[in-house]
Amino acid sequence: MNLEILSLAQVGLAPGGFSMTYIVIIGVSMLASFLISGTLKRRFNEYSQIPIRMTGAQIAEAMLRQHGINDVQVICTPGHLTDHYDPTKKTVNLSESVYSVNSVAAAAVAAHECGHAVQHQQAYHWLGLRSKLVPAVEFSSKMLNWLMIIGILGIGVAHSPMMLWAWVVLFGVTTVFSVVTLPVEFDASRRALAWMESSGVAASMEHDKAKNALFWAAMTYFAAAVGSIAQLAYFLMMALGGRRNEN
């Protein structure tokens, strides 16, 4: 759930300086991210107090086994909410607050990560596309950071049409990645909830709480995607000459 590759440029600095429009975009994006993140943490803490009969690791192993997946290992990884599925190593990595904990929150997170393993097994096209985009996103993020550093040193990106268009293209790659991530995450949650209901792991009330926890987790990706789209639109308007209309 924590696979978000972002550049420093995506969290605050625009090429060529700030404008009121950009400040509003960043402010709204940061506020939405803060509120959603806070709600997610509160829901996770609340639902971590509701026990069920299986730990996160047991949930993951059972879901994988029932889907006929025998080549994926469930392991414990350090940190809090650092859970993720690694398709290259074929591991479901569960954080310490999920792996050995028997709660609704732990079950929801573990099942969600196994949802990604099921996507991998079934060659879910959006997951395949996201995996293919990773190298391009890593490159784009590094280049955006270099362009930002160049701007800080006084070489304004906005004063060079070629560099500004390079910024737009690179930022566009990271934005596409954020958008492609949405169906991947929502589908993994859908698979997790469907399995939890069909397997009888959680009662109806617990199922609703797991659904709520996964909803707020997915909303973090939604907020990131919307913020990235808004910033890309701003940069594109700059490249097309829209910035002159503000001056």
58 Rama class: left (phi>0) / alpha (psi -120 to 50) / beta: alpha
Where does residue 18 rank: exposed (0-12), middle (13-18), buried (19+ CB within 10 A)?
exposed
Say if 151 falls within a structural domain.
yes
Query: Number of structural domains, the chain?
Result: 1
Separation CA 212–CA 192 (nearest Å): 12
Say if 74 falls within a structural domain.
no
Say if 91 falls within a structural domain.
no
For the chain, 247 residues long, the average pLDDT of each consecutive 10-residue run is 42 55 84 90 91 94 96 93 92 95 94 97 96 95 84 59 86 96 96 91 78 91 92 87 50
Say if 1 falls within a structural domain.
no
* pTM assigned to the model: 0.83
Say if 188 falls within a structural domain.
yes
Does residue 96 carry a catalytic annotation? no
Say if 88 falls within a structural domain.
no
Active-site choice (113, 185, 197, 246): 113
Say if 159 falls within a structural domain.
yes
User: Containing domain of residue 195, as a range?
Assistant: 8-50+104-115+123-246
Say if 57 falls within a structural domain.
no
